[in-house]
Amino acid sequence: MNMSEPIQFSATGLRGELRFDEPMRKHTSWRAGGAAQRVYQAADLDDLQCFLHSLPADEPLIAVGLGSNLLVRDGGVRGTVLLMHGALSVLSLDEDGSIYAQSGVPGAKLARFAAMHGYRGAEFFAGIPGTMGGMLAMNAGCYGGETWQHVTRVQVLTRSGELLERTPQEYEIGYRSVMLRSKGQVENGKWENSDSSLAPHHSLEEFFVGAWLRLEAGDGGVARQEIKSLLSKRIASQPLNLPNAGSVFRNPPGDFAARLIEQCGLKGRKIGGAQVSEKHANFIVNIDGATAADIENLIKEVRAIVAAQTGVDLHPEVKIMGEYAKHE
């Protein structure tokens, strides 16, 4: 792949930073993977709109927050990666009491902001190692809470740079899954041809850039103590000292992926520099310069062994994208 392939812009005056042949290991929590042809870090939402207006219509786009749920293959990714963290970072309290958070706001920052303003219910966000955009895209959750339980409306940006607002009713929201309903389904209030009419947000025909959340008023001090407790629990149970991407597999109905993986004796299993964590079986950690191929192959191996021994097909929660290296 010609990673330095030029791109033609149709607009000037951009205020963000455009980089070429950018190693994605710098932008993913696994610290592995190939390079992106282009990476753009917008100055703010207006600048991001301007950048999208300037792109060719067929330019592939990927939006990345903290890269904490993402594996980029060693051959890298074509097109442009949009870095949201550090770009879309507005976090504010509206007059009606709702909290507005742009897609680059980390979960822990959102939790602390809500507690500081005397709201309860956002504490669980502190346990999610991602940003608002990613949490919206997958309905991220932990410790009994899920993102969309608190969303009243979202702000999305289309591929052409048009800014829109949508309501939760325009999405099919499930466990670690958020799909945009077709226009006809929204108008009719029903689903038809569910397989063909769903458009996942990672296609980037449009993507989340912000959300308004409604939370219950409560004791901010109690909320802050709950955040501390959740963070302590996370530190005690997860291998946070090693590069990881959080939970690798979704929990199957009525069970836990970690329990099944441990039951199959897979804790400590290694391929190259990747290892199934000995601390938490649903984590794969980079212990010694793991390649993306090491990690992906270990994911496949764990999935195959669990399916063979238990009959349960574990579905990855992490997103895997990009091209294989030529030698693979």
Taking the C-alpha atoms of residue 328 and residue 324, their distance in angstroms, rounded to an integer, is: 6
Sort strands 70-72 and 319-321 into parallel, antiparallel or unpaired. Answer: parallel
Q: Are the C-beta atoms of 129 and 179 separated by less than 8 Å?
A: no
How many C-beta atoms lie closer than 10 Å to residue 177's C-beta? 14
Catalytic residue among 19, 153, 159, 176: 176
DSSP 217: E
Phi, psi of 244 (to 5 degrees): -155, 175
- State yes or no: is 176 an active-site residue: yes
* Buried b / exposed e along 248-262 (16+ C-beta atoms within 10 A): bbbbbeeeebbebbb
Taking the C-alpha atoms of residue 209 and residue 162, their distance in angstroms, rounded to an integer, is: 11
Residue with tokens 């959102």: 110
Catalytic residue among 22, 123, 206, 317: 317
- State yes or no: is 317 an active-site residue: yes
Catalytic residue among 54, 68, 247, 277: 247
DSSP 27: S
Could you tell me the CA-to-CA distances from 61 to 57, 142, 258, 280 in Å, in that order? 10, 29, 33, 33
Active site residues: 176, 247, 317
